[in-house]
């Protein structure tokens, strides 16, 4: 027995009713024949007695639940809507393309937002991962992320707030010992770095987290990219000795292709080799590792399980307070030294969150304008369909049913637009991906997944309801007699309809204005930025980056002191100057290139100027060392 009548059973149950009625009529006819009527007469009489089977069937079906009825009507409405749309191919095509454009753009941007902002970083318990940044809040309007010293790192390790903490140090090195010399991005990390992130190599092992070597342990983990590029994906690479600048490293592991270090800059994410460093021994001098002045650019840490970032921040603040009292010389109160914990996801996304959300808002506006356009088209069409709607109402079509049917029509239209948008998105995926700057973190995670598809679906449903509402409500208030009387007369719709159309145009104009002014501001800012005086003339200036070897063993260092570096520097400048076409040449530390990407600026100095004050605060400047020719060379104007 079936008490519940599921909608998909309805066809079968309708057949059951038809069978039942047929049997009823046959039995009635048979009884009449038995009573002596002629067979053909009996059958006709039985039919007459039964009544109209179609009608009986319909009122019997009305006894079935409302859910089924609702679905049946929906299917009817959708079928009718498709018929109506097919009858107006021009209107349908234009509307679908308009909606497809809006939904396609919105969904495309959403797929980027989804991959970068909505999904946690691809590490186990990513919510425990933080980046630790040191600030001098009191100087020069607040100097942020100035770097960390080895003693501070040790203090944090002992604090019991973190499971692991790993400082990081970036270098560019020459790698030899593979097929051909390579320029590689090298990242020096604490031995617990990979254990902290919870990532496993695809080949070999990573560093032993318990390794306590103060300097480099001369093991290297390499990226999948370098492994394929320089070693042809050969698995015998494990155990191979390679030269990184002047030092020998043994390769112990290869990271999987999907692994990227969680860093905000493209350069840092393109790291090729990792080496384990204790940050407290050679090649760093003893003075530099016991000093409480920034030595390396911050650290990444994993919080103890169950500790929220806010709780951890409170405990770190308390620790900072103690340290400030303990070392007043290193942390003068006017510098207002603080340690800030930043969720690793925010650190990786950097300044990208706002532009992405801004972009999403912009494409949603575009979708809104598209909706307004289609709503206007629909209203114009409703005017020409006025007679049809009036006739249907005169014949007994319920107003609510008509409204629902018109809404269904616009939602079908919008759903078709969504389908076209997704089809376009999937077929132009590679093209679209190429438009995304590859500086976007987690670029590889951008996909059209179920979340993106459901977003597109919901967006098209909402869009359909939005642009279908006005025409549908107008149909509900249709004046049947007036429309029917206006036979043959051209009409631009009721006064009310005209008013709605004007309102929609106004809304559309307002949306466009917002978009236009935002775009205008953006273009203006860009133009201003292009024309901003840089303070130097970048024309005909070439930058060559190089550095003297800095071997792990200080005894092997050919240039241990500035005095030892001097002959090399002078000779280098003399020879470059002699090259044809060279006008002037200058040397400087890494941070000396103006407006350079600061990603690997470990040579930048933060200088607190004694006695100098600005707005009552100490002045804090960043600086780098240059030779006297530097300002002539880049034609600085000030």
Partner 1 sequence: MSPKDPPTSRIELLQGTLDFIILQALRWGPCHGYGIVQLIRSQSANVLQVETGSLYPALQRLMRQGAISQEWGTSSTDRRVRMYRLTAKGRSRLAAERSKWEQLTQAMAGLMAPPAAEER
CB of 4 to partner 1, least distance (A): 9
Of 302, 291, 266, the closest CA to residue 148 belongs to 291
Q: Please report whether residue 5 would count as binding partner 1 according to CB under 8 A.
A: yes
Could you say which residues in the range 216-245 bind partner 1, by CB under 8 A?
none
Write down the least CB distance from residue 46 to partner 1, Å: 10
Q: In terms of Cα–Cα distance, which of 465, 459, 515, 361 is closest to 104?
A: 459
Q: What is the DSSP letter of 415?
A: H
Stretch that binds partner 1, among 14-22, 79-87, 139-147, 542-550 (CB under 8 A): 14-22
292 lies in the binding site for partner 1 (CB under 8 A): no
Given the rule CB under 8 A, which of 23-31, 86-94, 397-405, 445-453 is the region that contacts partner 1? 23-31
Question: Which residues, at least 6 apart from 16, have a Cβ–Cβ distance to it below 8 Å?
Answer: none
Which one among 3, 118, 210, 212 touches partner 1, defined by CB under 8 A? 3
Three-state secondary-structure class, residue 346: helix
- Stretch of 17-25, 288-296, 477-485, 571-579 contacting partner 1, by CB under 8 A: 17-25
Kindly tell me which of 65 and 355 has the beta carbon lying closer to partner 1.
65
> Nearest distance from residue 56's CB to partner 1, in Å?
5
Distance set, CA 406 to CA 385, 476, 499, 555 (Å):
11, 10, 20, 85
14 contributes a contact to partner 1 by CB under 8 A: no
- Cα 428 to Cα 101, 233, 360, 421, 444, distances in angstroms: 13, 31, 19, 10, 16
For residue 470, what are its two tokens?
A: 């006005």
- Single out the residue of 27, 38, 519, 632 in contact with partner 1 (rule: CB under 8 A): 27
- Closest CB to partner 1 among 65 and 549? 65
Q: How far is the CB of 75 from partner 1 (least distance, A)?
A: 21
Closest distance of CB 38 from partner 1, Å: 15
Residue in 15, 13, 1, 12 with CA at minimum distance from that of residue 64: 13
Question: Rounded CA gap, 506 and 509, in Å?
Answer: 5
CB-count exposure of residue 260 (10 Å: 0-12, 13-18, 19+): buried
Q: Which stretch binds partner 1 (CB under 8 A): 1-9, 78-86, 382-390, 579-587?
A: 1-9
* SS3 label, residue 302: strand
Distance CA 624, CA 127 (A): 37
Specify the residue, 46 or 472, whose C-beta has the smaller distance to partner 1: 46
46 vs 189, beta carbon nearer partner 1: 46
Task: State in angstroms the smallest separation of the CB of 11 from partner 1.
Answer: 16
Question: Least distance to partner 1 from the beta carbon of 396, Å?
Answer: 20
Question: Which of 58/346 has CB closer to partner 1?
Answer: 58
**167 phi/psi in degrees, rounded to 5:** -70, 165
Name which of 23 and 241 has its Cβ closer to partner 1. Answer: 23
Nearest CB to partner 1, comparing residues 52 and 481: 52
In the complex, minimum distance from the CB of residue 47 to partner 1, in angstroms, rounded to a whole number: 11
Q: How far is the CB of 54 from partner 1 (least distance, A)?
A: 11
Interface with partner 1, residue 26, by CB under 8 A: yes
* Cα separations in angstroms, 446 against 115, 357, 438, 452: 5, 16, 11, 10
Stretch that binds partner 1, among 13-21, 367-375, 453-461, 563-571 (CB under 8 A): 13-21
Strand partners, 605: 623
Closest CA to 116 of 588, 452, 384: 452
- Residue 612 contacts partner 1 per CB under 8 A: no
Per-residue x/- track, 446-485, partner 1 (CB under 8 A): ----------------------------------------
Reduce the DSSP state of residue 519 to 3 states and report it.
helix
> How far apart are alpha carbons 410 and 471 in whole angstroms?
9
24 makes contact with partner 1 (CB under 8 A): yes
Region of 618 on the Ramachandran plot (φ > 0 left; ψ -120 to 50 alpha; else beta):
beta
Between 26 and 311, CB nearer to partner 1: 26
Q: Which is nearer to partner 1, 61 or 381 (CB)?
A: 61
* Cβ 59 to partner 1 shortest distance, Å: 5
Count of residues in the chain = 638
User: Is 22 among the residues that bind partner 1 (CB under 8 A)?
Assistant: yes
- Pairing of the two strands 241-244 and 129-136: unpaired
Nearest-CA neighbor of 46 among 28, 24, 27? Answer: 28
Nearer to partner 1 (CB atom), residue 18 or residue 503: 18
Q: How far apart are CA 432 and CA 377, in angstroms?
A: 30
Binding mask 382-421 for partner 1 (x = CB under 8 A): ----------------------------------------
The CB-of-515 to partner 1 minimum distance in angstroms stands at 55
Phi, psi dihedrals of residue 524, rounded to the nearest 5°: -65, -45
- Interactions with partner 1, residue window 31-70 (CB under 8 A): 31, 45, 49-52, 55-57, 59-65
CA gyration radius, the chain: 37
Q: Which is nearer to partner 1, 15 or 438 (CB)?
A: 15
Closer to partner 1 at the Cβ: 4 or 450?
4
β partners of residue 129 = 302
Shortest separation between residue 374's beta carbon and partner 1, angstroms: 42
Phi-psi region of 41 (alpha: psi -120 to 50; beta: other; left: phi over 0): alpha
Among 1, 210, 532, 579, binds partner 1 (CB under 8 A): 1
Cα dihedral across residues 549, 552, 556, 561: positive or negative: positive
In the complex with partner 1, the residue whose CB is nearer, 59 or 544, is: 59
Cis before 209 (ω within 30): no
* Of 262, 280, 268, 271, the residue nearest 196 (C-alpha): 262
Task: With beta carbons less than 8 A apart as the criterion, state whether 316 and 159 touch.
Answer: yes
Work out how close the CB of 39 gets to partner 1 at its nearest, in angstroms, rounded to a whole number: 12
Count interface residues toward partner 1 (CB under 8 A): 32
Q: Which is nearer to partner 1, 24 or 387 (CB)?
A: 24
Classify 17 in phi/psi space as left (phi over 0), alpha (psi -120 to 50) or beta. Answer: alpha
Kindly tell me which of 29 and 312 has the beta carbon lying closer to partner 1. Answer: 29
Q: Which residue ranges make up the site for partner 1 (CB under 8 A)?
A: 1-3, 5, 16-17, 19-24, 26-28, 30-31, 45, 49-52, 55-57, 59-65
């Amino acid at each position: 027995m079936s008490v519940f009548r599921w909608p998909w059973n309805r066809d079968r149950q309708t057949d059951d009713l038809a069978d039942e009625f047929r049997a009823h009529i046959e039995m009635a006819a048979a009884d009449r024949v038995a009573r002596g009527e002629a067979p053909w007469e009996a059958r006709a009489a039985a039919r007459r007695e039964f009544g109209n089977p179609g009608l009986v069937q319909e009122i019997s079906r009305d006894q079935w639940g409302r859910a089924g009825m609702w679905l049946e009507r929906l299917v009817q409405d959708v079928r009718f809507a498709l018929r109506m749309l097919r009858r107006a191919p021009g209107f349908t095509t234009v509307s679908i393309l308009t909606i497809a454009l809006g939904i396609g753009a919105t969904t495309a941007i959403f797929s980027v937002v989804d991959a970068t902002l909505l999904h946690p970083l691809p590490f186990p318990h990513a919510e425990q991962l933080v980046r630790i940044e040191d600030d001098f809040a009191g100087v020069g309007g607040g100097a942020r992320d100035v770097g960390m010293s080895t003693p501070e790192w040790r203090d944090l390790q002992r604090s019991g707030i973190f499971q692991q903490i790993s400082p990081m140090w970036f270098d560019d090195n020459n790698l030899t010992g593979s097929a051909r010399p390579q320029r590689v991005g090298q990242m020096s990390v604490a031995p617990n770095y990979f254990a902290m992130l919870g990532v496993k190599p695809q080949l070999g092992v990573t560093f032993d987290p318990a390794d306590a070597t103060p300097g480099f342990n001369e093991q290297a983990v390499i990226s999948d990219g370098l492994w394929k590029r320089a070693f042809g994906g050969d698995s015998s690479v494990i155990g191979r000795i390679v030269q990184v600048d002047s030092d020998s490293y043994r390769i112990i592991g290869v990271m999987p292709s999907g692994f990227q270090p969680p860093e905000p800059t493209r350069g840092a994410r393109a790291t090729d080799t990792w080496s384990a460093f204790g940050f407290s021994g050679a090649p760093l001098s003893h003075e530099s590792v016991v000093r409480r002045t920034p030595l390396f650019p911050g650290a990444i840490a994993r919080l103890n399980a169950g500790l929220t970032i806010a709780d951890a921040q409170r405990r770190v603040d308390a620790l900072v307070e103690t340290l400030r009292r303990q070392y007043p010389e290193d942390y003068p109160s006017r510098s207002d030294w603080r340690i800030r914990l930043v969720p690793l996801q925010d650190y990786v996304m950097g300044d990208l969150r706002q532009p992405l959300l801004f972009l999403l808002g912009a494409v949603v506006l575009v979708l809104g304008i598209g909706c307004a356009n289609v709503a206007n088209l629909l209203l114009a069409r409703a005017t020409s369909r006025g007679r049809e709607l009036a006739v249907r109402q005169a014949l007994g079509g319920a107003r609510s049913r008509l409204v629902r049917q018109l809404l269904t029509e616009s939602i079908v239209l919008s759903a078709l637009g969504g389908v076209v948008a997704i089809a376009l998105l999937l077929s132009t995926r590679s093209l679209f991906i190429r438009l995304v700057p590859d500086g976007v973190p987690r670029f590889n995670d951008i996909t059209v997944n179920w979340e993106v598809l459901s977003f597109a679906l919901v967006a098209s449903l909402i869009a359909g309801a939005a642009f279908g509402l006005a025409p549908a409500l107008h149909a509900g208030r249709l004046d049947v007699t007036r429309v029917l009387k206006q036979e043959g007369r051209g009409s631009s719709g009721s006064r009310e309809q005209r008013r709605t159309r004007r309102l929609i145009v106004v809304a559309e104009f307002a949306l466009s204005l917002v978009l236009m002014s935002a775009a205008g501001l953006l273009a203006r800012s860009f133009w201003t930025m292009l024309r901003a005086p840089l303070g130097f003339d970048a024309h005909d200036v070439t930058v060559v980056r190089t550095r003297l070897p800095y071997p792990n063993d200080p005894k092997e260092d050919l240039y241990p002191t500035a005095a030892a570096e001097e002959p090399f520097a002078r000779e280098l400048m003399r020879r470059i100057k002699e090259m044809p076409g060279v006008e002037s040449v200058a040397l400087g530390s890494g941070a000396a290139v103006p407006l350079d990407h600061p990603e690997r600026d470990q040579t930048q100095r933060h200088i607190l100027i004694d006695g100098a004050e600005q707005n009552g605060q100490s002045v804090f400047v960043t600086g780098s060392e240059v030779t006297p020719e530097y300002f002539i060379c880049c034609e600085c104007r000030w």
